[in-house]
Structure 1
Amino acid sequence: MFEKTSFPTAIKTSLSKISESHALRCDSKQFESRFLMLDDLLSKGPTCYLSQFLPDPLVKGVQHIYLEEGEGIPVVNTLSIQKMSININDCRYISDEAFSALTPTRKLIKNDVLLTMDGGTSIGKPVLFDLVGDYSVDSHVAILRPKGISPKALVYLLASPLGQLQFQRFESGASGQTAVTEEDLRRFKFPLSSLQRLEEEVSTLDTERVRIQIARDKLDRDEKELWENFTLKVLR
């Protein structure tokens, strides 16, 4: 049962959301405490929509016919985007002819921002494309070419807790097949105060992530060696 004040409060919150947005998602998730806290945070000062930095339409890949064997052109997919990096070993491949037939916008160029847009827990994984050679993406990955913000800064903005919380808010669809639409992405909001110092913070964060990755790689090597030594001792 609702308390006497619950229903009017919900209506008031809903009307407030309608006044701030083009649409209202009428589901209980919108009233979860984490999203109400997000609204409260964003209400403390001037904000801007992500659409400000995305003047061009998003480009998504197509459903490719992949090569079963042999070399070809790598296609970046949801699996190959992990922890803000691209694992080439998890890419699939298409023929040179299939790549040539793609529109120029679907052929990746350096400093493209790649973003997974659907697939349940895979939604909202951003990465900066900085590889050499010919690449494309599949139909689950969008290509963003921002203006007014550096591509790397956009990647960090989307990967931040503030960005990830908005992916969680806007995702919709059947279980395991959820997605975030281009319209949803364009309505992501961020405090202007944070954007003003974003580039400087990204540089610092980038340096720290490299340091952490080096330490993580060493720990992985140490663990592997530990298991190898354990195995040798057991098999004696």
Structure 2
Amino acid sequence: MALADKFTRAPAPRIGRRTLADVAASHTFRLDAKQAEERFALFDKWIEGIDHFLLGDMLPAPVVKGAQPNYVDGLDEGVRVITTMAIQSLAIDERACRIALSVDYGTDSVRRPRADDVLLTVDGGTSIGKAALFDLDGLYAVDSHVAILRPVGIEPGLLVHLLASPLGQLQFQRSESGASGQTAVTEDDIRRFRFPVLSDEAATRALTDVRAARAEAQALRKQAEDREAQGWTEFLSEFPAAD
């Protein structure tokens, strides 16, 4: 069984059992039914049996979130604000950024994204767990739903892919808490994420392979979209032409 399949969510059981000892082993003490899912126990057993690291050990600086700016619609110039909608497919969509006249970057501009920062969406239900590497020029900010991670000891691009991988998404799903539609993951949760230790050579191979696969998949998606559009054109060609 592939590693990604091993931790896939199974249909919810009719009865889930979890002991108080299991609850006590968690830093959150959550009495949450989803914590009894078998995939989480399988992940724990697997990760504890291999050489791994805590993400918090790679984040010596505090995780910071942006301040919520006052947006002004219709502006062409100002500070571009990276929102959850702007982080898509491991990249930042500049077209989806909003514009603010000014932004509170905090003391020493700690909330201003810098080159090689990892941007991570941390609340908003299905928006949680999207990651991207900040590599843009110009004046940018993040809003209050996006956290800035400044890793040390791990290549930022590798961290982006680890967070986006099934191993990262599993841990987001496990840590997410809150009312429906208002869920979030906390800095404490993120710092306790665990990932396998990879040699430099293995990490390079893994990144090369997944980037090539994603580029191929994107090309196939574009091909499929073009073919579908062609099909609709052919379909409409059978109708009378509009004047």
TM-score bracket, normalised by the shorter chain, equals 0.7 to 0.9
Give the structure with the larger helix fraction.
1
Candidates 30, 34, 58, aligned match of 1:29 = 34
Q: 2:22 aligns to what?
A: 13
Contact 2:124/2:183 (CA < 8 Å) preserved in 1?
A: yes
Residue ranges of structure 2 left out of the alignment (5+ in a row): 1-15
Q: 2:230 aligns to what?
A: 225
Root mean square deviation of aligned Cα: 2.2
Q: 1:232 corresponds to which letter in structure 2?
A: S
Q: 2:91 corresponds to which letter in structure 1?
A: S
Q: 1:119 aligns to what?
A: 124
Q: 2:89 aligns to what?
A: 83
Q: 1:197 corresponds to which letter in structure 2?
A: A
Q: 1:146 aligns to what?
A: 151
- How has the CA–CA distance of structure 1 residues 196 and 59 changed in structure 2, closer, same or farther, with 3 Å as cutoff? farther
Q: What is the DSSP-based 3-state SS (H/G/I as helix, E as strand, rest coil) of the residue aligned with 1:139?
A: coil
Q: Check if 1:65 corresponds to 2:70.
A: yes
Q: What is the DSSP-based 3-state SS (H/G/I as helix, E as strand, rest coil) of the residue aligned with 2:72?
A: coil
Q: 2:169 aligns to what?
A: 164
Partner Cα distance (1:108, 1:46) in 2: 31
Partner Cα distance (1:173, 1:181) in 2: 11
Displacement after TM superposition at 1:218 (Å): 2.5
Q: 1:167 corresponds to which letter in structure 2?
A: F
Displacement after TM superposition at 1:107 (Å): 2.1
Residue ranges of structure 1 left out of the alignment (5+ in a row): 1-5
Q: 1:75 corresponds to which letter in structure 2?
A: V
Aligned residue pair count: 223
Displacement after TM superposition at 1:187 (Å): 0.4
Candidates 58, 74, 83, aligned match of 2:80 = 74
Candidates 206, 217, 222, aligned match of 1:212 = 217
Partner Cα distance (2:199, 2:239) in 1: 55
Q: Check if 1:102 corresponds to 2:108.
A: no
Displacement after TM superposition at 1:51 (Å): 0.6
Contact 2:60/2:151 (CA < 8 Å) preserved in 1?
A: yes
Q: 1:53 corresponds to which letter in structure 2?
A: M
Partner Cα distance (1:162, 1:196) in 2: 20
Displacement after TM superposition at 1:227 (Å): 1.6
- How has the CA–CA distance of structure 1 residues 68 and 115 changed in structure 2, closer, same or farther, with 3 Å as cutoff? same
What is the TM-score normalised by the length of structure 2?
0.83
Partner Cα distance (1:66, 1:83) in 2: 25
Partner Cα distance (2:201, 2:29) in 1: 29
What is the TM-score normalised by the length of structure 1?
0.86
Displacement after TM superposition at 1:37 (Å): 1.4
Partner Cα distance (2:236, 2:167) in 1: 44
Q: Check if 1:199 corresponds to 2:204.
A: yes
Q: What is the DSSP-based 3-state SS (H/G/I as helix, E as strand, rest coil) of the residue aligned with 1:79?
A: helix
Q: Check if 1:180 corresponds to 2:177.
A: no
Partner Cα distance (1:232, 1:204) in 2: 42
Q: 2:19 corresponds to which letter in structure 1?
A: A
Name the % identity: 44
Q: What is the DSSP-based 3-state SS (H/G/I as helix, E as strand, rest coil) of the residue aligned with 1:57?
A: coil
